[in-house]
């Protein structure tokens, strides 16, 4: 079940490769995510020292009164990936024009997982072409339906 989604990712970026990763979270962050509170807007992933981190992901406190005083809702959270995936991500991060971005946060049984992708930014004319193609497909479906 999808908890959070980065809706503008496919409009602004071309997805080249995808991965599944676990996230290191506190208990009150897990409760907040299960209630579908949070945002992936403006977040990205970096690989430092052989570990991957998600930066800029917003997870508000589940209960503000019971949250520790120093809680930062946009703190860097470590991602749980295997060595082969980390190597591939670090190689792609060093290439010019490629970024690692989160796609969605979902619930896998009891675990909270994150879909991440290696992406390349789209130009303005590519975005327009995609929007035009989507509108054309929608019109075709409408005409076939009626």
Q: What is the mean pLDDT of residues 95-119?
A: 91
Residues with Cβ within 8 Å of 72's Cβ and at least 6 positions away in sequence, in order, are none
128 within a domain of the structure (yes/no): no
State the total domains in the chain: 1
- Average pLDDT of the chain to the nearest whole number: 89
The two structure tokens encoding residue 109: 């049984």
81 within a domain of the structure (yes/no): yes
141 within a domain of the structure (yes/no): no
116 within a domain of the structure (yes/no): yes
Interval 72-106: pLDDT, tens: 888 899 999 999 999 999 988 888 888 999 999 99
Q: Is the pLDDT of residue 65 over 80?
A: no
Please give the span between the terminal C-alpha atoms of the chain, in angstroms, as a whole number: 33
Q: Is the pLDDT of residue 60 over 80?
A: yes
Q: What is the mean pLDDT of residues 54-64?
A: 88
Give me the CATH number covering residue 82: 2.40.280.10
Interatomic CA distance for residues 119 and 95, integer angstroms: 11
User: Cα dihedral sign for 16, 20, 21, 23?
Assistant: positive
Q: Print the domain residue range for 30.
A: 2-121
Q: What is the mean pLDDT of residues 111-123?
A: 91
54 within a domain of the structure (yes/no): yes
85 within a domain of the structure (yes/no): yes
Interatomic CA distance for residues 6 and 46, integer angstroms: 17
């Amino acid at each position: 079940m999808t908890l959070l989604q980065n809706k503008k990712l496919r409009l602004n970026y071309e997805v080249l490769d995808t991965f599944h990763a676990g996230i290191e979270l506190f208990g009150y962050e897990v409760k907040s995510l299960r209630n579908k509170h949070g945002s992936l807007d403006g977040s990205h992933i970096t690989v430092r020292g052989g570990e991957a981190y998600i930066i800029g992901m917003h997870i508000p406190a589940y209960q503000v009164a019971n949250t520790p005083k120093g809680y930062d809702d946009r703190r860097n959270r470590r991602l749980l990936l295997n060595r082969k995936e980390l190597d591939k991500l670090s190689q792609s991060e060093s290439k010019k024009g490629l970024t690692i971005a989160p796609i969605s946060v979902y619930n896998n049984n009891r675990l909270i997982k994150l879909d991440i992708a290696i992406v390349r930014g789209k130009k303005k004319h590519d975005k327009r072409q995609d929007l035009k193609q989507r509108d054309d497909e929608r019109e075709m479906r409408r005409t076939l339906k009626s």
